[in-house]
A and B are shown apart, each in its own frame.
Chain A
Amino acid sequence: MGVKGEWGSGGVGRGRLTAVLGDPQFWVPVIVLIAGLVVLRWIS
């Protein structure tokens, strides 16, 4: 699951993005954010 390559060289490369997207914990805040936006839309 680890990201191989050029850590420390700066920037957010494709490997890192893949690692973030492959992290199951990432999707918890994403889902909550979408739910929040839906509620905000309903309220306003």
Chain B
Amino acid sequence: MDQLTTLHASRLRRLQLVGVASGFTAGAWLGAAEAPTKMVTLGIPPVVISLVMVLGVFLARWSLPALLRGSAAIGADVREAPHLVIWAILAGCLWAVANTLTVFAIRDIGLSIAFPLWNANSLLGIVWGFLFFNELRGAGWPRWLGVLGGAVLMFVGATLLAVVSSTQAPSGHALRGVVAALTAGALWGTMYIPYRKAYLTGMNPLSFVTFFTIGELIMMTGLALSDQGGVTPLVAELTRAKAVIFWLLCGGFVWVIGDLFQQYAAKYIGISRGIPLSNTNQLWGLAWGILVFGELKGGGSGVYARVIGGSVLMALGAVAIAVATATEREHERWQEAGRREGERYGIDPAYVQSAMTGETTHPAAQRRSWLDWVVVLGATAVFVGFATVAQVPHLALNWSAMVGLVAASLALLGGAGWALWRVTGFN
């Protein structure tokens, strides 16, 4: 087990920087994922919205890994640590239930209040990271202060943003909405236990998500069938929604890009830091809402002061966490947790070590086959098919703001993707 040696300081620093960049990029893309869902007109059951988004997620989670790494490499990963298939499916089930709860929460208390409530998942992530995976152990009080203080700052900032439009929240069922949002946060915060377990043991995030999405689809289909009362009513509801299915699929696809970066953040900086950084998605969601969709238009100066104040607090919290990267001593404690996982599940220590340091575990397997191209083309065909029957809703959009936000998101994607490729080869 001594093969798990201490990482070279400069390599560790590079991995941490890549993790931080991934966290911020995740925030941008997870925030942007809300934009396509705004195209959806009212009247579609929440569970059906969630199911179609999950279908988009499923298509993206099979096609993107096939394109970036190839299914042979995914198969090789699974053969090294097959128990992670169970963990991935469990994480997918948690995600599906949480996502459905958020749709109910948005309906009952509005996005602006629901968002910060479920983003409290970062505080839970810190608890699980500390308790189960040795995160922040031996980190020293400045880093504790950075992570915990940053997470609290982000929570306060998020709450301030929520207060801004609380008067616009839909009436009735407030308690139900709050419970739904907090439960979604608990599910998402706990979902990071499987994530961290997988990455401490060495699994590639691109492999993990392909099995994760099976859990999502199974759970979501079950929920939708149960909610709609069988296959026939569900199909009828989907048929009625066919004009907006494309937008929901797009929402799912954009979400997956954000989630992939979130996975890399969880791998390289841990869940206690990765989750809060990904939670900057609230800032991006707000930027889309205010700048592109004209939300809060006509609000007084007090409204905008609270928006700016809350955003600054969230940004300061994110910066505090970003600079509180793990020390070599803390990283040794992570490796201890990795050794424990390896011993429990009997995984080759060399595999754990190479994967933890972001090195290629199966160089020969990283080739695309005809199967990968079939998956990519199939997923593309589904998107194109629904695009042909999609209707563009009449929305007043600020196109220049939209171009700016898309350009910023693409710049983050390109920068973080390039860094990930250079430092880890997407491992």
Contacts and interface: CB of A to CB of B under 8 A. Distances in A.
A5 B82 CA distance: 13
B94 A36 contact: yes
B132 A25 contact: yes
Given A2-B345, A7-B347, A33-B97, A16 B82 contact: yes
B348 A29 contact: no
A11 B80 CA distance: 10
Contacts, number: 99
B104 A44 contact: yes
B113 to A, nearest CB: 16
A35 B176 CA distance: 15
A33 B193 contact: no
B54 interface: no
B178 to A, nearest CB: 11
B422 interface: no
B297 interface: no
B187 interface: yes
Given A1-B344, A43-B104, A43-B179, A32 B85 contact: no
A20 to B, nearest CB: 5
B47 to A, nearest CB: 7
Say what secondary structure dominates the interface of chain A: helix
Looking at A8, A12, A26, A36, the one whose CB has the most chain B CB atoms below 10 A away is A36
Contacts of B47: 44
A18 B44 CA distance: 42
Contacts of A23: 344
Contact of A33 (B85, B93, B179, B344): B93
Contact of B223 (A3, A25, A40): A40
B180 interface: yes
Contacts of A30: 90
Contacts of A44: 46-47, 104, 227
Nearest to A13: B82
Given A2-B343, A17-B86, A43-B101, 13 more contacts: A3-B83, A7-B347, A16-B82, A16-B345, A23-B344, A26-B90, A28-B128, A28-B190, A32-B186, A36-B94, A36-B98, A36-B184, A44-B104
13 contacts: A2-B344, A16-B86, A16-B345, A26-B90, A28-B128, A29-B94, A33-B187, A36-B101, A36-B184, A36-B186, A39-B101, A43-B101, A44-B47
